Amino acid sequence: MDILNALVAILNFVVIPAASYGAQLALGALGVTLIYGILRFSNFAHGDTMAFGTALVILVTWGLQAIGIDLGPVPTALLALPIGIALCSVFVLGTDRTVYRFYRRKRSDPIILVMASVGVMFIMNGLTRLVIGVDEIRFDDGARFLVSVQQFRAWTGLSEGLSLRVSQAITLAVTALACWALFRFLSRSRAGKAMRAYSDNEDLALLSGIDPERVVRLTWIIATALAVTAGTLYGLDKSFKAFNYFQILLPIFAAAIVGGLGNPLGAVAGGFIVAFSEVAVTYPWKKIANYLGFQPEGLLQLLSTEYKFAVSFVILIVVLLFRPTGLFRGKSV
Amino acid sequence: MSHTRQAEAHGAWRAPVLFLVLALLFLAEGTFRNALFSGSWNTALGILNMGLISAIMALGVNMQWGYAGLFNAGVVGFLALGGLAPVLVSTPPVQGAWAAGGPRVILALAVGLGTLVLAAQVWKRVPGRPRVLALIAVLVLGFVLYRFLFDPAVAAIEANNSASAGNIGGLGWPVLLSWPVGALMAAAAAWGVGKVALGLRSDYLAIATLGIGEIIVAVMRNEEWLSRGVKNMSGIPRPVPYEVDLQADPGFVARAAEWGLSPGLASGIWVKLLYAGLFTAVLLALILLAELALKSPWGRMMRAIRDNETAAGAMGKNVTRRHLQIFVIGSAVIGLAGAMMVTLDGLLSPNSFNPLRYTFLIWVMVIVGGSGNNWGAVLGAILIWFLWIKAEVWGPELMRLITLPLPEGAFRSHMLGSAPHMRFIALGLVLLLVLRFAPRGLVPEK
Amino acid sequence: MTEPYLSATDMHGGYGKADILNGCTLTVDKGQIAVIVGPNGAGKSTAMKAVFGMLNLREGRVTLGGEDITALTPQERVRKGMGFVPQTHNIFPTMTVEENLEMGAFIREDDFRDTMAQVYELFPAVADKRKQNAGELSGGQRQQVAVGRALMTKPSLLMLDEPTAGVSPIVMDELFDRIIEVARTGISILMVEQNARQALEIADIGYVLVQGANRYTDSGQALLADPEVRRTFLGG
């Protein structure tokens, strides 16, 4: 029995990775849920918005590096992030103007908007490939570890190591900051309340003199900012590969639905629920069982990592079966 | 008023004219050899064959979208599942594989399925507080038992001659038989997803199918015992003769010489023509069935539901059940196309199942062709497929022209190298433009 | 004779090709309560929506305080002093009572805390729940929030579309009392009601609409006393 080492192992292999992955999903799901709440459709282009925005951030990062600007231990990408967000927002607002606004004015069926978002997805996907290619790209400069395994072992004298990468720490910090700012904005500011009012009751919001186009523009900008942030953090944490951002769409949708589409708090909770389930189910628990005095035969891995998307899917199905409005009562059905 | 009559007359000729244009495109591809066309009948027929299969996929999607307004974002999954059928049905049995773990795998799968059924029953029957506990107990026990049965069996099968096989093997039955089997497999999966996701918001089906699509493809990539996973499964039997056999047949060589063709060229063309005939027959049969169904009371009700779900629901029609029916049927057609595609390729390669190519490209075909109209879907499928293939050639050519005034250098070579990616942008633009300016497609619904 | 504060004269129009309103005229003076009653499908709600600009009139004009507002959008009419409480979906359910009122005052640039205090004074029951989500309140309290929201723009004309639909008789009486109180502050009230008898009790002027046109127009008491009206529209 070695509870201390078991705890460290759980922290190192489950809690930290799941928390940072959950934070990335939460930011993505927040964007999906905001767009759903205001524009009333599931945006299939969200994954590719993340990819496109991240590609822009990488380009700006390279540019900054080329002229010799960096942030020391912190990745230069963080400095490039606001520029990437601004550029990507301009593009996304352009798609709203040229694509979505038409269907919004016509009050088209949501599924037509979903279809239109597929078209936008194709274009963004192609643009991403065009500007940065399809290869895997690493763009995390600066220090790699906040706490490395060797350091941790030296400090604690435990046999089990623990590492905290800079990208993980930054992910958690940036996500906390973004959520704090967003929720403060939604609950305190006039524009944020107008957004909630519009999401709650579009017609009454119009009667109250809220300008729908302003609300929609604001929503796109916020959702894009969250998406590009999520994409950049994900890319720093793992690496950048355009196709991965299409695949992350499923866990993001699952997170948003679990939390209740249209409910921002739910999206954050959903992101962590999906991430923790995914990591817990695909992690081989053998090592931890060993520390606790068991000698299992197998790896004690419930599902191989190739099937991690199955976890989001199962969560999605369970929620649709038992509580289609999500855990936090979103709109919908 | 004359304006409308004109439009109607115009509409009657529209489909035949468009099909004629399509035929001319293929004719050009087969005969002219220049920057735009290959001048090879082998290439032209190759594009046509895959175009015909795409047409069947588009028919399936059109049933779901055009008849019922259901968005299936997991076409690739149903297609891949259908593609599994030729491997399981028609490849020769693998020596020793069945003995190594066949029955045990079947038993494991039965236990897995049984667990889900039992769980559903428990949820329905057991009242009150113990319900959740009972459900969890059933699921946990079922999962442990399943893994206990499944893991050793899979290890044994994969260890059996792992260099060239390592899979469970097929039944060695005729490959044509695997086509309906593929349809059935896709239908079964569709029933499961539809049961859960239909009857809720329309986006939910899209998201759930997106998930099932990714999972089916993941299963086929990783379950080596099933179809060798990413090692690919080749040598799938054919319903038509092999080129080498034809070339060895003196009678065939003589007839080829009469046409003035080399045996190699003639055999390639002949095999492709046979496939084209086979696919056309299936396609026409499907269209006939679909048109008959659409004109039946069932089809009228389907369209009534699509046009006004609330009213149809108020009239006592069980909308969700009808949607489930059409969703399953459409997915079966997609599964059939998957089986046909794998038969044509003679190869099952799970890595090639890319959602952009096999889900969203099919969607573009349906939208461009004219959702709700079967002929429109067929036209859209063959046309878009033709353009998709040709864009691979035309894109770089076009980019070369555009970048001609630019100086040689990194930027120009980057642009030239990126030309293939332009296909996605073009496709997205086509989808958006059609959706906006011609939402009823090239051949609108009558 | 001076022109009434609100005057909507000879309104014709509908949503599609067929007209629902066929020459309907509604006028309300300052501080008056006007009630529109009539059988189902008579175009009561449509008439009110026409006054509010939610449907295009083919004929007729609407003036408010002497100013022609026929061409204005509903949002512009709100700025001119109209307040409208829809029959359903008239609150923001996931926002607090206080936020609902704030949204009501969205177009106001000045300090609206006084108005909010007045609304709370008028509806003490919801004042106690100001931090609670409006969607969690009872039916009658939701209606109070809805009316309160419309009052936040300090309208000179308040329009209510069946404010008592689906609430208990006790709540209805209470709500009517509040409406009288609102009218006493000088705000004109135009309201559509299913509960014709009770509504006419408090009406200064009543309109009985049939097939999109005025059938009877008189003071509330006079209509209640009219045997013809009683027999045909009030059930004896």
Chain A: residue whose CA lies nearest to B222? A306
> How far A332 CA sits from the closest chain C CA (Å)?
14
* A-C C-beta contacts closer than 8 Å: 55
CB contact under 8 A, A207 and C102: no
B180 lies in some domain: yes
- B211 has a chain A CB within 8 A of its CB: yes
Upper half-sphere CA count for residue A261 (Cβ side, 13 Å): 28
Per-residue pLDDT tens for C190-208? 999 988 889 999 999 999 9
Please give the Cα distance from B77 to B60 (Å, whole number): 13
CATH (domain of B71): 1.10.3470
Percent of chain A residues topping a pLDDT of 70: 98
Q: A207 to chain C: which residues are within 8 Å by CB?
A: 74-75, 78, 84, 86
CB contact under 8 A, B432 and A247: no
Chains with 3+ CB–CB pairs under 8 A to B are: A
Pairing between strand C33-37 and C205-210? parallel
Residue ending a domain, among B116, B144, B169, is: B169
**List of residues 6+ apart from B359 with CB closer than 8 A:** B72, B73, B74, B75, B76, B213
Question: Nearest-5° angle of CA A271, CA A273, CA A279?
Answer: 100
Question: Which member of C90, C93, C99 has the closest CB to residue A193?
Answer: C99
Instruction: Return the pLDDT at A333.
Output: 36
Q: Which CATH number fits domain A3-322: 1.10.3120, 1.10.3470, 1.10.10, 2.60.40?
A: 1.10.3470
Please give the Cα distance from B299 to B316 (Å, whole number): 16
Question: Which member of A190, A200, A206 has the closest CB to residue C92?
Answer: A200
Structural domain boundaries, residue B165: 93-169
Structural domain boundaries, residue C12: 1-73+191-236
Residue ending a domain, among B130, B154, B169, is: B169
Please give the Cα distance from B108 to A119 (Å, whole number): 42
CB contact under 8 A, A207 and C86: yes
Per-residue pLDDT tens for B58-97? 999 999 998 888 999 999 999 999 999 999 998 888 887 7
C119 lies in some domain: no
CB contact under 8 A, A209 and C90: no
Q: C78 to chain A: which residues are within 8 Å by CB?
A: 207-209
Tokens 């089986």 locate to B339
With a cut of 60, say whether residue A332 has pLDDT above it.
Answer: no
CB contact under 8 A, C89 and A206: no
Instruction: Return the pLDDT at B124.
Output: 83
Q: Do residue B60 and residue B209 come from a single domain?
A: yes
Please give the Cα distance from C131 to B267 (Å, whole number): 81
- A196 has a chain C CB within 8 A of its CB: yes
Element at A60 (helix H, strand E)? helix A46-66
Split into its structural domains, chain B has a count of 2
**Phi-psi map region of B56: left, alpha, beta (phi>0 left; psi -120 to 50 alpha):** alpha
B444 lies in some domain: no
Q: Do residue B191 and residue B282 come from a single domain?
A: yes
Q: Where are the domains of chain A?
A: 3-322
CATH (domain of C1): 3.40.50.300
Q: C92 to chain A: which residues are within 8 Å by CB?
A: 196-197, 200-201, 204-205
* C152 phi/psi in degrees, rounded to 5: -65, -20
Binning pLDDT at 50, 70 and 90, where does residue C154 land? very high
B and C adjacent (3 or more CB pairs under 8 angstroms): no
Return the sign of the alpha-carbon dihedral for residues A279, A283, A287, A293: positive
CB contact under 8 A, C78 and A208: yes
C80 lies in some domain: no
C66 lies in some domain: yes
Looking at per-residue pLDDT, the higher value among C8 and B445 belongs to: C8
CB contact under 8 A, A204 and C78: no
Tokens 């199918």 locate to B209
Binning pLDDT at 50, 70 and 90, where does residue A265 land? very high
Question: Which member of A121, A250, A302 has the closest CB to residue B211?
Answer: A250
Return the sign of the alpha-carbon dihedral for residues B72, B73, B74, B75: positive
Instruction: Return the pLDDT at B161.
Output: 75
Q: Are A78 and A141 in contact (CB under 8 A)?
A: no
Please give the Cα distance from B192 to B203 (Å, whole number): 17
Per-residue pLDDT tens for A273-300? 999 999 999 998 988 888 888 888 778 8
Please give the Cα distance from A84 to A61 (Å, whole number): 9
> How far C94 CA sits from the closest chain A CA (Å)?
7
B365 lies in some domain: yes
* A240 phi/psi in degrees, rounded to 5: -95, 125
Q: A204 to chain C: which residues are within 8 Å by CB?
A: 86, 89-92, 103, 149
Candidates C47, C36, C51; CA nearest to C5 is: C51
Per-residue pLDDT tens for C48-81? 999 999 888 889 999 999 899 999 998 899 999 9
Instruction: Return the pLDDT at B83.
Output: 93
Split into its structural domains, chain C has a count of 1
The pair of structure tokens assigned to A293 is: 């005095």
C41 lies in some domain: yes
- A208 has a chain C CB within 8 A of its CB: yes
Q: Do residue B226 and residue B313 come from a single domain?
A: yes
Question: Which member of A194, A204, A208 has the closest CB to residue C89?
Answer: A204
Candidates B227, B242, B236; CA nearest to B346 is: B236
Chains with 3+ CB–CB pairs under 8 A to A are: B, C
C53 lies in some domain: yes
CB contact under 8 A, A200 and C149: no
The pair of structure tokens assigned to B160 is: 């059996």
C16 lies in some domain: yes
Instruction: Return the pLDDT at B344.
Output: 94
**Phi-psi map region of A133: left, alpha, beta (phi>0 left; psi -120 to 50 alpha):** left
Upper half-sphere CA count for residue B299 (Cβ side, 13 Å): 12
Upper half-sphere CA count for residue B427 (Cβ side, 13 Å): 35
Q: Do residue B80 and residue B153 come from a single domain?
A: no
Question: Which member of B207, B215, B427 has the closest CB to residue A122?
Answer: B427
Please give the Cα distance from A6 to C136 (Å, whole number): 46
Binning pLDDT at 50, 70 and 90, where does residue C1 land? very low
**What is residue A147's three-state secondary structure?**
strand
User: What is the number of other CB atoms lying within 10 angstroms of the CB of residue B99?
Assistant: 11
Q: A185 to chain C: which residues are within 8 Å by CB?
A: none
C165 lies in some domain: no
Chain A: residue whose CA lies nearest to B363? A115
Question: Which member of A190, A201, A207 has the closest CB to residue C74?
Answer: A207
**Phi-psi map region of C41: left, alpha, beta (phi>0 left; psi -120 to 50 alpha):** left
Question: Which member of C79, C90, C106 has the closest CB to residue A210?
Answer: C106
Q: What is the pLDDT along chain B (446 residues), one digit of tens a residue?
A: 334 444 444 567 888 898 999 999 898 888 888 878 888 888 899 999 999 999 999 999 999 998 888 999 999 999 999 999 999 998 888 887 787 888 888 899 999 999 998 988 888 888 878 888 888 899 999 998 998 888 888 888 888 877 777 777 778 889 899 999 999 999 999 999 898 888 777 788 888 899 899 899 989 988 888 888 878 888 888 898 888 888 888 889 888 888 888 888 889 899 999 999 999 999 999 999 999 988 898 888 888 888 877 777 777 678 888 899 999 999 999 999 999 999 999 888 888 898 888 998 999 999 999 888 899 999 999 999 999 888 888 878 888 888 888 777 777 777 777 777 788 888 899 999 999 998 888 888 77
CB contact under 8 A, A201 and C89: yes
* A239 phi/psi in degrees, rounded to 5: -170, 170
Residue ending a domain, among B169, B199, B222, is: B169
Q: A127 to chain B: which residues are within 8 Å by CB?
A: 425
Instruction: Return the pLDDT at A194.
Output: 95
Average pLDDT over residues A57-71: 92
How long a stretch of residues is chain B? 446
Candidates B127, B62, B65; CA nearest to B380 is: B62
Average pLDDT over residues A175-202: 94
Q: Which of C73, C77, C94 to mutate to test the interface with A (most CBs of A within 10 A)?
A: C94
User: What is the number of other CB atoms lying within 10 angstroms of the CB of residue B128?
Assistant: 6
Q: Are B339 and B176 in contact (CB under 8 A)?
A: no
ipTM attached to this prediction: 0.89
The pair of structure tokens assigned to A305 is: 């990592």
**What is residue C189's three-state secondary structure?**
strand
Q: Do residue B134 and residue B114 come from a single domain?
A: yes
Chains with 3+ CB–CB pairs under 8 A to C are: A
- C53 has a chain A CB within 8 A of its CB: no
Q: Do residue B163 and residue B216 come from a single domain?
A: no
* C88 phi/psi in degrees, rounded to 5: -125, 170
